[in-house]
Structure 1
Protein backbone atom coordinates (compact mmCIF):
# COMPACT_ATOMS: atom_id res chain seq x y z
CA UNK A 1 0.00 0.00 0.00
CA UNK A 2 1.31 3.46 -0.83
CA UNK A 3 1.07 6.52 1.39
CA UNK A 4 -1.74 8.21 -0.52
CA UNK A 5 -3.99 5.17 -0.22
CA UNK A 6 -3.16 4.65 3.44
CA UNK A 7 -3.70 8.17 4.76
CA UNK A 8 -7.02 8.66 2.96
CA UNK A 9 -8.68 5.89 5.00
CA UNK A 10 -9.51 5.93 8.73
CA UNK A 11 -5.96 7.09 9.40
CA UNK A 12 -6.68 10.64 8.24
CA UNK A 13 -8.92 11.44 11.22
CA UNK A 14 -6.33 10.01 13.60
CA UNK A 15 -3.61 12.10 11.94
CA UNK A 16 -5.74 15.23 12.46
CA UNK A 17 -6.23 14.32 16.13
CA UNK A 18 -2.54 13.54 16.60
CA UNK A 19 -1.55 16.87 15.03
CA UNK A 20 -3.63 18.60 17.71
CA UNK A 21 -1.68 16.67 20.39
CA UNK A 22 1.57 17.91 18.83
CA UNK A 23 0.20 21.42 19.14
CA UNK A 24 -0.50 21.03 22.86
CA UNK A 25 -3.88 19.35 23.21
CA UNK A 26 -3.89 16.89 26.14
CA UNK A 27 -3.39 13.15 25.84
CA UNK A 28 -4.20 12.27 29.48
CA UNK A 29 -1.80 9.35 29.44
CA UNK A 30 -1.95 7.09 32.48
CA UNK A 31 -1.06 3.45 33.10
CA UNK A 32 -0.56 1.41 36.30
CA UNK A 33 2.87 2.06 37.85
CA UNK A 34 3.77 4.41 34.97
CA UNK A 35 4.46 8.12 35.13
CA UNK A 36 1.40 10.01 33.84
CA UNK A 37 1.70 12.55 31.04
CA UNK A 38 -0.96 15.19 30.58
CA UNK A 39 0.62 16.33 27.33
CA UNK A 40 2.80 14.60 24.79
CA UNK A 41 5.46 17.23 25.27
CA UNK A 42 5.68 16.25 28.95
CA UNK A 43 6.98 12.87 27.80
CA UNK A 44 9.67 14.54 25.70
CA UNK A 45 10.76 16.65 28.67
CA UNK A 46 11.05 13.47 30.76
CA UNK A 47 13.06 11.54 28.15
CA UNK A 48 15.91 9.47 29.59
CA UNK A 49 18.32 7.05 27.92
CA UNK A 50 20.24 4.90 28.73
CA UNK A 51 19.17 3.52 32.11
CA UNK A 52 22.82 2.98 33.14
CA UNK A 53 26.19 4.47 32.20
CA UNK A 54 27.19 3.42 28.69
CA UNK A 55 30.83 3.67 27.68
CA UNK A 56 31.60 4.10 23.96
CA UNK A 57 32.95 1.22 21.95
CA UNK A 58 36.70 1.43 21.35
CA UNK A 59 37.67 2.54 17.85
CA UNK A 60 39.18 -0.88 17.13
CA UNK A 61 38.47 -4.21 18.80
CA UNK A 62 40.63 -7.30 18.69
CA UNK A 63 38.98 -9.97 16.55
CA UNK A 64 36.60 -7.53 14.85
CA UNK A 65 37.43 -6.36 11.30
CA UNK A 66 35.52 -3.07 11.53
CA UNK A 67 36.27 0.34 12.96
CA UNK A 68 33.90 2.05 15.39
CA UNK A 69 33.41 5.82 15.28
CA UNK A 70 34.77 7.89 18.13
CA UNK A 71 31.84 8.72 20.40
CA UNK A 72 31.40 10.19 23.88
CA UNK A 73 30.17 8.07 26.77
CA UNK A 74 26.55 8.40 27.85
CA UNK A 75 25.69 8.90 31.54
CA UNK A 76 22.75 6.90 32.84
CA UNK A 77 19.46 8.74 32.43
CA UNK A 78 20.80 11.16 29.80
CA UNK A 79 18.26 13.66 28.54
CA UNK A 80 17.21 14.26 24.95
CA UNK A 81 19.80 16.97 24.28
CA UNK A 82 22.68 14.73 25.36
CA UNK A 83 21.36 11.86 23.25
CA UNK A 84 20.89 14.14 20.25
CA UNK A 85 24.62 14.84 20.23
CA UNK A 86 25.39 11.11 20.22
CA UNK A 87 22.82 10.40 17.52
CA UNK A 88 24.19 13.19 15.35
CA UNK A 89 27.65 11.61 15.55
CA UNK A 90 26.22 8.18 14.74
CA UNK A 91 24.19 9.57 11.86
CA UNK A 92 27.25 11.30 10.41
CA UNK A 93 29.36 8.15 10.73
CA UNK A 94 26.69 6.02 9.05
CA UNK A 95 26.04 8.51 6.26
CA UNK A 96 29.71 9.14 5.51
CA UNK A 97 30.69 5.48 5.37
CA UNK A 98 27.55 4.46 3.47
CA UNK A 99 28.00 7.19 0.85
CA UNK A 100 31.61 6.11 0.33
CA UNK A 101 30.40 2.70 -0.81
CA UNK A 102 32.02 -0.67 -0.27
CA UNK A 103 35.46 0.95 0.10
CA UNK A 104 34.54 1.99 3.66
CA UNK A 105 33.00 -1.33 4.73
CA UNK A 106 34.95 -1.53 8.00
CA UNK A 107 33.82 1.97 9.00
CA UNK A 108 30.24 1.24 7.96
CA UNK A 109 30.15 -1.92 10.04
CA UNK A 110 31.65 0.00 12.94
CA UNK A 111 28.95 2.66 12.69
CA UNK A 112 26.24 0.00 12.66
CA UNK A 113 27.83 -1.71 15.68
CA UNK A 114 27.94 1.62 17.52
CA UNK A 115 24.26 2.19 16.74
CA UNK A 116 23.41 -1.23 18.16
CA UNK A 117 25.53 -0.41 21.20
CA UNK A 118 23.77 2.93 21.75
CA UNK A 119 20.39 1.19 21.56
CA UNK A 120 21.36 -1.57 23.95
CA UNK A 121 20.89 -4.28 21.31
CA UNK A 122 24.49 -5.22 20.46
CA UNK A 123 24.00 -8.82 21.58
CA UNK A 124 26.57 -11.55 21.00
CA UNK A 125 24.08 -14.09 19.66
CA UNK A 126 21.79 -11.61 17.93
CA UNK A 127 22.73 -8.37 16.19
CA UNK A 128 26.42 -8.67 17.06
CA UNK A 129 26.70 -12.14 15.57
CA UNK A 130 24.70 -11.15 12.50
CA UNK A 131 26.94 -8.13 11.91
CA UNK A 132 30.10 -10.17 12.22
CA UNK A 133 28.79 -12.68 9.68
CA UNK A 134 27.57 -10.02 7.24
CA UNK A 135 29.96 -7.08 7.62
CA UNK A 136 31.62 -7.80 4.26
CA UNK A 137 28.30 -7.36 2.43
CA UNK A 138 26.76 -4.74 4.69
CA UNK A 139 26.80 -1.92 2.15
CA UNK A 140 24.88 -4.04 -0.33
CA UNK A 141 22.35 -5.03 2.33
CA UNK A 142 21.73 -1.44 3.38
CA UNK A 143 21.68 -0.20 -0.21
CA UNK A 144 19.07 -2.79 -1.12
CA UNK A 145 16.91 -1.60 1.75
CA UNK A 146 17.31 2.09 0.86
CA UNK A 147 16.39 1.50 -2.78
CA UNK A 148 13.43 -0.69 -1.83
CA UNK A 149 12.12 1.92 0.63
CA UNK A 150 12.33 4.59 -2.08
CA UNK A 151 9.52 2.79 -3.93
CA UNK A 152 7.14 4.39 -1.43
CA UNK A 153 5.30 1.21 -0.47
CA UNK A 154 4.67 -0.28 2.97
CA UNK A 155 5.61 -3.78 1.85
CA UNK A 156 9.30 -4.59 1.45
CA UNK A 157 10.48 -6.74 -1.44
CA UNK A 158 14.00 -7.23 -0.02
CA UNK A 159 14.88 -10.96 0.12
CA UNK A 160 15.75 -12.17 3.63
CA UNK A 161 14.93 -8.76 5.09
CA UNK A 162 16.75 -8.04 8.35
CA UNK A 163 14.38 -5.97 10.45
CA UNK A 164 14.21 -5.86 14.24
CA UNK A 165 14.62 -3.41 17.12
CA UNK A 166 18.28 -3.02 16.22
CA UNK A 167 17.96 -2.51 12.48
CA UNK A 168 15.12 0.00 12.82
CA UNK A 169 17.64 2.22 14.62
CA UNK A 170 20.16 1.83 11.79
CA UNK A 171 17.58 2.57 9.10
CA UNK A 172 16.26 5.56 11.08
CA UNK A 173 19.71 7.15 11.17
CA UNK A 174 20.36 6.32 7.54
CA UNK A 175 17.08 7.73 6.15
CA UNK A 176 15.73 11.18 6.91
CA UNK A 177 12.06 10.14 7.00
CA UNK A 178 12.38 6.93 9.02
CA UNK A 179 11.64 6.75 12.75
CA UNK A 180 12.87 4.18 15.26
CA UNK A 181 9.97 1.75 15.67
CA UNK A 182 10.86 -0.29 18.74
CA UNK A 183 8.66 -1.81 21.46
CA UNK A 184 8.27 1.51 23.28
CA UNK A 185 7.36 3.62 20.26
CA UNK A 186 4.97 0.96 19.00
CA UNK A 187 3.31 0.72 22.41
CA UNK A 188 2.85 4.49 22.63
CA UNK A 189 1.31 4.75 19.17
CA UNK A 190 -1.01 1.84 19.93
CA UNK A 191 -2.05 3.51 23.21
CA UNK A 192 -2.77 6.82 21.45
CA UNK A 193 -4.81 5.13 18.72
CA UNK A 194 -6.73 3.11 21.31
CA UNK A 195 -7.41 6.21 23.40
CA UNK A 196 -8.56 8.19 20.36
CA UNK A 197 -10.98 5.46 19.31
CA UNK A 198 -12.41 4.38 22.66
CA UNK A 199 -12.14 7.50 24.86
CA UNK A 200 -12.40 10.43 22.46
CA UNK A 201 -14.72 8.89 19.85
CA UNK A 202 -16.35 6.51 22.38
CA UNK A 203 -16.42 3.63 19.93
CA UNK A 204 -16.08 -0.08 20.53
CA UNK A 205 -12.84 -1.91 19.83
CA UNK A 206 -14.96 -4.36 17.83
CA UNK A 207 -15.02 -1.73 15.07
CA UNK A 208 -11.41 -0.60 15.49
CA UNK A 209 -9.90 0.27 12.07
CA UNK A 210 -7.43 -2.31 10.80
CA UNK A 211 -5.24 0.48 9.43
CA UNK A 212 -4.45 1.51 13.01
CA UNK A 213 -3.87 -1.91 14.54
CA UNK A 214 -0.20 -1.13 15.15
CA UNK A 215 2.06 -4.13 15.43
CA UNK A 216 3.42 -4.16 18.97
CA UNK A 217 6.80 -5.69 19.77
CA UNK A 218 7.73 -8.02 22.58
CA UNK A 219 10.05 -6.28 25.05
CA UNK A 220 12.89 -8.05 26.81
CA UNK A 221 12.77 -9.29 30.37
CA UNK A 222 10.28 -8.13 32.97
CA UNK A 223 8.77 -5.41 30.74
CA UNK A 224 7.52 -7.88 28.14
CA UNK A 225 3.87 -7.83 29.39
CA UNK A 226 3.61 -4.03 29.48
CA UNK A 227 4.18 -2.91 25.88
CA UNK A 228 0.73 -3.58 24.40
CA UNK A 229 -2.29 -1.56 25.61
CA UNK A 230 -4.80 -4.14 24.30
CA UNK A 231 -3.61 -7.48 22.90
CA UNK A 232 -7.13 -8.16 21.60
CA UNK A 233 -6.67 -5.24 19.19
CA UNK A 234 -2.94 -4.94 18.54
CA UNK A 235 -0.94 -8.01 17.42
CA UNK A 236 2.38 -8.69 19.09
CA UNK A 237 5.06 -9.25 16.45
CA UNK A 238 7.75 -11.81 17.21
CA UNK A 239 10.46 -12.31 14.60
CA UNK A 240 8.25 -10.82 11.88
CA UNK A 241 10.61 -8.59 9.84
CA UNK A 242 8.19 -7.84 6.99
CA UNK A 243 5.31 -6.93 9.30
CA UNK A 244 7.70 -4.87 11.46
CA UNK A 245 8.76 -3.01 8.32
CA UNK A 246 5.15 -2.36 7.30
CA UNK A 247 4.22 -0.81 10.63
CA UNK A 248 7.42 1.19 10.77
CA UNK A 249 6.62 2.74 7.39
CA UNK A 250 3.01 3.41 8.34
CA UNK A 251 4.16 5.07 11.57
CA UNK A 252 6.50 7.24 9.47
CA UNK A 253 3.59 8.34 7.31
CA UNK A 254 1.28 9.06 10.23
CA UNK A 255 3.79 11.02 12.29
CA UNK A 256 5.20 12.81 9.26
CA UNK A 257 1.76 14.00 8.15
CA UNK A 258 0.75 14.95 11.70
CA UNK A 259 3.93 16.97 12.19
CA UNK A 260 3.49 18.69 8.83
CA UNK A 261 -0.15 19.46 9.64
CA UNK A 262 0.81 20.89 13.03
CA UNK A 263 3.25 23.25 11.30
CA UNK A 264 4.59 26.18 13.29
CA UNK A 265 2.16 25.49 16.13
CA UNK A 266 3.83 22.19 16.92
CA UNK A 267 5.72 21.88 20.17
CA UNK A 268 8.10 19.49 18.42
CA UNK A 269 10.89 20.70 16.17
CA UNK A 270 11.21 17.46 14.21
CA UNK A 271 10.18 13.81 14.06
CA UNK A 272 13.09 12.75 16.25
CA UNK A 273 11.56 14.75 19.12
CA UNK A 274 8.16 13.14 18.52
CA UNK A 275 9.81 9.73 18.46
CA UNK A 276 11.60 10.48 21.75
CA UNK A 277 8.33 11.47 23.42
CA UNK A 278 6.70 8.25 22.26
CA UNK A 279 9.71 6.27 23.44
CA UNK A 280 9.46 7.71 26.94
CA UNK A 281 5.68 7.34 27.08
CA UNK A 282 5.76 3.76 25.78
CA UNK A 283 7.90 2.31 28.56
CA UNK A 284 4.76 0.96 30.21
CA UNK A 285 1.27 1.36 28.74
CA UNK A 286 -0.73 -1.20 30.71
Structure 2
Protein backbone atom coordinates (compact mmCIF):
# COMPACT_ATOMS: atom_id res chain seq x y z
CA UNK A 1 0.00 0.00 0.00
CA UNK A 2 1.28 3.45 -0.86
CA UNK A 3 1.53 6.34 1.55
CA UNK A 4 -1.10 8.26 -0.41
CA UNK A 5 -3.56 5.36 -0.23
CA UNK A 6 -3.00 4.72 3.46
CA UNK A 7 -3.64 8.33 4.40
CA UNK A 8 -7.10 8.16 2.81
CA UNK A 9 -8.28 4.97 4.54
CA UNK A 10 -11.32 5.06 6.83
CA UNK A 11 -10.68 7.01 10.05
CA UNK A 12 -7.09 7.91 9.13
CA UNK A 13 -7.85 11.52 8.03
CA UNK A 14 -10.15 11.97 11.03
CA UNK A 15 -7.49 10.70 13.43
CA UNK A 16 -4.88 12.98 11.87
CA UNK A 17 -7.16 16.00 12.29
CA UNK A 18 -8.06 15.00 15.85
CA UNK A 19 -4.47 14.52 17.01
CA UNK A 20 -3.13 17.57 15.17
CA UNK A 21 -5.62 19.80 16.94
CA UNK A 22 -4.97 18.14 20.31
CA UNK A 23 -1.16 18.12 20.29
CA UNK A 24 -1.03 20.96 22.81
CA UNK A 25 -3.80 19.65 25.07
CA UNK A 26 -2.83 19.62 28.73
CA UNK A 27 -5.75 17.47 29.83
CA UNK A 28 -6.29 14.75 27.23
CA UNK A 29 -2.86 13.12 27.38
CA UNK A 30 -1.99 13.15 31.07
CA UNK A 31 -0.16 10.02 32.15
CA UNK A 32 1.90 8.63 35.00
CA UNK A 33 3.68 5.48 36.15
CA UNK A 34 6.50 4.29 38.37
CA UNK A 35 9.88 3.60 36.80
CA UNK A 36 10.78 0.03 37.75
CA UNK A 37 14.54 0.68 37.88
CA UNK A 38 14.54 3.86 39.95
CA UNK A 39 11.22 3.41 41.78
CA UNK A 40 10.50 7.05 40.92
CA UNK A 41 7.17 8.35 39.70
CA UNK A 42 7.10 9.76 36.17
CA UNK A 43 4.23 11.91 34.93
CA UNK A 44 3.30 14.28 32.13
CA UNK A 45 0.41 16.67 31.54
CA UNK A 46 0.55 16.38 27.75
CA UNK A 47 2.50 15.14 24.76
CA UNK A 48 5.00 17.98 24.61
CA UNK A 49 5.58 17.70 28.34
CA UNK A 50 6.32 14.01 27.80
CA UNK A 51 9.00 15.02 25.29
CA UNK A 52 10.40 17.56 27.75
CA UNK A 53 10.75 14.74 30.27
CA UNK A 54 12.36 12.34 27.80
CA UNK A 55 14.98 10.10 29.34
CA UNK A 56 17.11 7.38 27.75
CA UNK A 57 20.39 6.52 29.45
CA UNK A 58 22.72 5.98 26.50
CA UNK A 59 26.41 5.07 26.49
CA UNK A 60 29.10 7.33 25.12
CA UNK A 61 31.11 6.59 21.99
CA UNK A 62 34.76 7.64 21.91
CA UNK A 63 35.10 6.85 18.20
CA UNK A 64 32.25 9.20 17.29
CA UNK A 65 33.02 11.76 19.97
CA UNK A 66 29.84 11.84 22.03
CA UNK A 67 29.51 11.38 25.78
CA UNK A 68 27.07 9.30 27.83
CA UNK A 69 23.81 11.05 28.64
CA UNK A 70 20.09 10.68 29.11
CA UNK A 71 18.22 13.87 28.09
CA UNK A 72 16.71 14.62 24.68
CA UNK A 73 19.58 16.94 23.75
CA UNK A 74 22.25 14.38 24.60
CA UNK A 75 20.42 11.65 22.71
CA UNK A 76 19.91 14.00 19.78
CA UNK A 77 23.65 14.63 19.58
CA UNK A 78 24.32 10.89 19.75
CA UNK A 79 21.79 10.10 17.03
CA UNK A 80 23.17 12.81 14.75
CA UNK A 81 26.65 11.32 15.07
CA UNK A 82 25.35 7.80 14.50
CA UNK A 83 23.38 8.91 11.43
CA UNK A 84 26.40 10.62 9.89
CA UNK A 85 28.51 7.56 10.59
CA UNK A 86 26.02 5.36 8.71
CA UNK A 87 26.10 7.75 5.76
CA UNK A 88 29.90 7.89 5.72
CA UNK A 89 30.13 4.10 5.90
CA UNK A 90 28.29 3.57 2.60
CA UNK A 91 30.22 1.31 0.25
CA UNK A 92 32.11 -0.57 2.95
CA UNK A 93 30.56 -3.57 4.67
CA UNK A 94 33.18 -3.39 7.43
CA UNK A 95 32.36 0.23 8.23
CA UNK A 96 28.61 -0.41 7.93
CA UNK A 97 28.95 -3.24 10.43
CA UNK A 98 30.76 -0.99 12.89
CA UNK A 99 28.20 1.78 12.42
CA UNK A 100 25.14 -0.44 12.84
CA UNK A 101 26.53 -2.19 15.92
CA UNK A 102 27.09 1.23 17.49
CA UNK A 103 23.43 2.10 16.81
CA UNK A 104 22.42 -1.11 18.59
CA UNK A 105 24.61 -0.20 21.56
CA UNK A 106 22.99 3.23 21.78
CA UNK A 107 19.56 1.59 21.81
CA UNK A 108 20.44 -1.13 24.31
CA UNK A 109 19.66 -3.91 21.83
CA UNK A 110 23.15 -5.03 20.82
CA UNK A 111 23.14 -8.63 22.06
CA UNK A 112 21.50 -10.76 19.35
CA UNK A 113 21.40 -7.98 16.79
CA UNK A 114 25.17 -7.52 16.84
CA UNK A 115 25.66 -11.25 16.37
CA UNK A 116 23.32 -11.26 13.37
CA UNK A 117 25.00 -8.22 11.82
CA UNK A 118 28.43 -9.80 12.17
CA UNK A 119 27.21 -13.08 10.68
CA UNK A 120 25.72 -11.17 7.73
CA UNK A 121 28.55 -8.71 7.17
CA UNK A 122 29.02 -9.65 3.52
CA UNK A 123 26.54 -7.61 1.51
CA UNK A 124 25.25 -5.77 4.59
CA UNK A 125 25.61 -2.36 2.99
CA UNK A 126 23.66 -3.36 -0.10
CA UNK A 127 20.93 -4.95 2.01
CA UNK A 128 20.48 -1.79 4.06
CA UNK A 129 20.44 0.33 0.90
CA UNK A 130 17.75 -1.84 -0.71
CA UNK A 131 15.48 -1.60 2.33
CA UNK A 132 16.18 2.12 2.69
CA UNK A 133 15.19 2.68 -0.94
CA UNK A 134 11.98 0.66 -0.55
CA UNK A 135 10.98 2.63 2.55
CA UNK A 136 11.75 5.90 0.79
CA UNK A 137 9.61 4.88 -2.19
CA UNK A 138 6.60 4.77 0.14
CA UNK A 139 5.13 1.36 -0.71
CA UNK A 140 4.84 -1.01 2.24
CA UNK A 141 4.30 -3.98 -0.10
CA UNK A 142 7.59 -3.60 -2.00
CA UNK A 143 9.17 -6.99 -2.74
CA UNK A 144 12.23 -6.38 -0.56
CA UNK A 145 9.94 -5.60 2.39
CA UNK A 146 7.95 -8.80 1.84
CA UNK A 147 11.02 -11.02 1.72
CA UNK A 148 11.13 -13.86 4.25
CA UNK A 149 14.78 -12.95 4.80
CA UNK A 150 14.02 -9.38 5.87
CA UNK A 151 15.35 -8.65 9.34
CA UNK A 152 13.21 -5.98 10.89
CA UNK A 153 12.85 -5.76 14.66
CA UNK A 154 13.33 -3.38 17.58
CA UNK A 155 17.00 -3.12 16.67
CA UNK A 156 16.78 -2.61 12.92
CA UNK A 157 14.02 -0.01 13.25
CA UNK A 158 16.62 2.17 14.97
CA UNK A 159 19.03 1.80 12.06
CA UNK A 160 16.42 2.60 9.43
CA UNK A 161 15.11 5.55 11.44
CA UNK A 162 18.53 7.12 10.92
CA UNK A 163 18.90 6.13 7.27
CA UNK A 164 15.40 7.07 6.10
CA UNK A 165 13.74 10.47 6.03
CA UNK A 166 10.72 10.95 8.31
CA UNK A 167 10.93 7.42 9.68
CA UNK A 168 10.32 6.80 13.37
CA UNK A 169 11.69 4.17 15.70
CA UNK A 170 8.80 1.73 16.18
CA UNK A 171 9.57 -0.33 19.26
CA UNK A 172 7.34 -1.67 22.03
CA UNK A 173 7.25 1.65 23.89
CA UNK A 174 6.42 3.82 20.87
CA UNK A 175 3.84 1.26 19.72
CA UNK A 176 2.24 1.33 23.17
CA UNK A 177 2.09 5.13 23.20
CA UNK A 178 0.58 5.28 19.72
CA UNK A 179 -2.00 2.62 20.51
CA UNK A 180 -2.86 4.47 23.74
CA UNK A 181 -3.74 7.55 21.67
CA UNK A 182 -5.76 5.46 19.20
CA UNK A 183 -7.82 4.12 22.11
CA UNK A 184 -8.56 7.67 23.24
CA UNK A 185 -9.66 8.55 19.70
CA UNK A 186 -11.92 5.50 19.53
CA UNK A 187 -13.49 6.23 22.91
CA UNK A 188 -14.15 9.86 22.04
CA UNK A 189 -15.80 8.83 18.77
CA UNK A 190 -17.80 5.97 20.33
CA UNK A 191 -16.18 3.30 18.16
CA UNK A 192 -16.86 -0.30 19.15
CA UNK A 193 -13.63 -1.58 17.61
CA UNK A 194 -10.27 -0.24 16.50
CA UNK A 195 -10.31 0.79 12.82
CA UNK A 196 -8.16 -1.58 10.79
CA UNK A 197 -5.91 1.21 9.51
CA UNK A 198 -5.23 2.40 13.07
CA UNK A 199 -4.74 -1.03 14.64
CA UNK A 200 -1.04 -0.57 15.36
CA UNK A 201 0.41 -3.82 16.74
CA UNK A 202 1.99 -3.92 20.17
CA UNK A 203 4.87 -5.85 21.72
CA UNK A 204 5.52 -6.89 25.29
CA UNK A 205 8.25 -5.35 27.42
CA UNK A 206 11.43 -7.37 27.80
CA UNK A 207 11.23 -8.52 31.40
CA UNK A 208 11.00 -11.73 33.37
CA UNK A 209 7.76 -13.70 33.19
CA UNK A 210 7.61 -13.65 36.98
CA UNK A 211 8.10 -9.90 37.28
CA UNK A 212 6.35 -8.61 40.40
CA UNK A 213 5.28 -5.42 38.64
CA UNK A 214 5.05 -6.15 34.90
CA UNK A 215 4.82 -3.18 32.55
CA UNK A 216 1.71 -2.99 30.38
CA UNK A 217 2.43 -2.30 26.72
CA UNK A 218 -0.86 -3.63 25.32
CA UNK A 219 -3.06 -0.54 24.82
CA UNK A 220 -6.20 -2.59 24.25
CA UNK A 221 -9.35 -2.71 26.34
CA UNK A 222 -12.07 -5.34 26.59
CA UNK A 223 -13.59 -4.12 23.30
CA UNK A 224 -10.78 -2.21 21.62
CA UNK A 225 -8.24 -4.90 20.76
CA UNK A 226 -4.83 -4.75 19.10
CA UNK A 227 -2.82 -7.58 17.55
CA UNK A 228 0.72 -8.49 18.50
CA UNK A 229 3.72 -7.22 16.56
CA UNK A 230 5.66 -9.75 14.48
CA UNK A 231 9.21 -9.23 13.29
CA UNK A 232 10.05 -8.95 9.61
CA UNK A 233 7.58 -7.70 7.01
CA UNK A 234 4.80 -7.09 9.57
CA UNK A 235 7.04 -4.82 11.65
CA UNK A 236 8.29 -2.95 8.58
CA UNK A 237 4.77 -2.36 7.25
CA UNK A 238 3.42 -0.91 10.49
CA UNK A 239 6.59 1.10 11.08
CA UNK A 240 6.02 2.77 7.72
CA UNK A 241 2.34 3.42 8.42
CA UNK A 242 3.07 4.87 11.86
CA UNK A 243 5.67 7.17 10.30
CA UNK A 244 3.26 8.29 7.57
CA UNK A 245 0.54 8.94 10.13
CA UNK A 246 2.61 10.97 12.58
CA UNK A 247 4.28 12.94 9.78
CA UNK A 248 0.82 13.83 8.45
CA UNK A 249 -0.26 14.92 11.93
CA UNK A 250 2.65 17.34 12.19
CA UNK A 251 2.04 18.63 8.65
CA UNK A 252 -1.66 19.26 9.32
CA UNK A 253 -2.68 22.95 9.60
CA UNK A 254 -4.09 22.21 13.04
CA UNK A 255 -0.59 21.45 14.30
CA UNK A 256 1.01 24.60 12.89
CA UNK A 257 1.22 26.29 16.28
CA UNK A 258 2.47 23.27 18.18
CA UNK A 259 5.66 23.51 20.20
CA UNK A 260 6.82 20.34 18.47
CA UNK A 261 7.70 22.55 15.50
CA UNK A 262 10.00 24.59 17.71
CA UNK A 263 12.10 21.81 19.22
CA UNK A 264 15.76 22.79 19.40
CA UNK A 265 18.36 21.15 17.17
CA UNK A 266 19.61 18.44 16.88
CA UNK A 267 16.09 17.08 17.43
CA UNK A 268 13.25 17.59 14.96
CA UNK A 269 9.43 17.59 15.29
CA UNK A 270 8.88 13.95 14.29
CA UNK A 271 11.67 12.66 16.52
CA UNK A 272 10.27 14.72 19.39
CA UNK A 273 6.77 13.30 18.95
CA UNK A 274 8.23 9.80 18.77
CA UNK A 275 10.14 10.53 22.01
CA UNK A 276 6.91 11.63 23.71
CA UNK A 277 5.22 8.34 22.77
CA UNK A 278 8.32 6.45 23.91
CA UNK A 279 8.06 7.97 27.37
CA UNK A 280 4.31 7.44 27.70
CA UNK A 281 4.56 3.88 26.40
CA UNK A 282 6.93 2.70 29.13
CA UNK A 283 3.90 1.50 31.09
CA UNK A 284 0.26 2.10 30.21
CA UNK A 285 -0.90 1.38 33.73
CA UNK A 286 -3.14 -1.01 35.58
CA UNK A 287 -6.06 -1.10 33.18
CA UNK A 288 -7.69 -4.41 32.30
CA UNK A 289 -5.20 -6.74 30.67
CA UNK A 290 -6.38 -8.38 27.49
CA UNK A 291 -5.05 -11.19 25.38
CA UNK A 292 -3.56 -10.56 21.97
CA UNK A 293 -6.45 -10.36 19.51
TM-score range, shorter chain: 0.7 to 0.9
Q: Does 1:227 align with 2:221?
A: no
1:148-227 superposed matches below 5 A? 148-158=134-144, 159=147, 160-198=149-187, 200-201=188-189, 203-204=190-191, 206-221=192-207, 222=211, 225-227=215-217
Residues 208-258 of structure 1 show CA distances to partners (whole Å, capped at 9, x for unaligned) of: 2111110112221158651111176111224x3111111101111111000
Aligned length, in residue pairs: 261
Do the aligned residues in 2 keep the contact of 1:26 with 1:40 (CA within 8 Å)? no
Give the corresponding residue for 2:45: 38
Taking only aligned residues, the RMSD between alpha carbons, in angstroms, comes to: 2.0
* TM-score normalised by the chain length of structure 1: 0.84
For the 8 Å contact 2:200–2:238, the answer to whether it is kept is: yes
Q: What is the CA distance between 1:4 and its match in structure 2?
A: 1.9
CA distance in 1, matches of 2:19, 2:170: 17
Tell me the SS of whatever aligns to 1:35.
strand
Superposed displacement of residue 150, structure 1: 3.1
Which range moved further: 263-272 or 109-118?
263-272
**Normalized per residue, which structure has more helix?**
1
Query: Which secondary structure does the structure 1 equivalent of 2:31 belong to?
Result: coil
Q: Does the C-alpha gap of structure 1 residues 4 and 241 become closer, same or farther in structure 2, counting only changes over 3 Å?
A: same
**Are the aligned partners of 1:156 and 1:245 in contact in 2 as well (CA < 8 Å)?**
no
Report the Cα distance in structure 2 between the residues aligned to 1:14 and 1:281, rounded to whole angstroms: 19
Q: Deviations over 1:9-46 (max 9, x none)?
A: 21111111111233446433336647342210110011
Tell me if 1:106 matches 2:94.
yes
Cα gap change, 1:224/1:113 in structure 2, threshold over 3 Å: closer, same or farther? farther
Check 1:167–1:118 CA distance in 2 against 1; reply closer, same or farther (3 A cut). Answer: same
Deviations 1:189-218 (A, max 9, x none): 0000001111x22x14x3321111101122
Q: Any idea what the Cα deviations from partners look like across 1:144-186, whole Å, max 9, x if unmatched?
A: 1022223321234222111000000000000112110011100
Conserved? CA contact 2:24–2:46, under 8 Å: no
Residue of structure 2 in register with 1:6 after alignment: 6
Name stretches of at least 5 consecutive residues in structure 1 with no aligned partner. Answer: 59-68
Structure 1 counterpart of 2:68: 74
Question: Equivalent of 2:59, from 34, 54, 61?
Answer: 54
Match of 2:241 among 217, 226, 250: 250
Q: Counterpart of 2:283 in 1: which secondary structure?
A: coil
Q: TM-score, normalised by structure 2?
A: 0.82
Whether the 8 Å contact between 1:21 and 1:39 is mirrored in structure 2 is no
**Residue in 1 aligned with 2:251?**
260
The gaps in structure 2 that reach 5 residues or longer are: 35-40, 262-268, 286-293
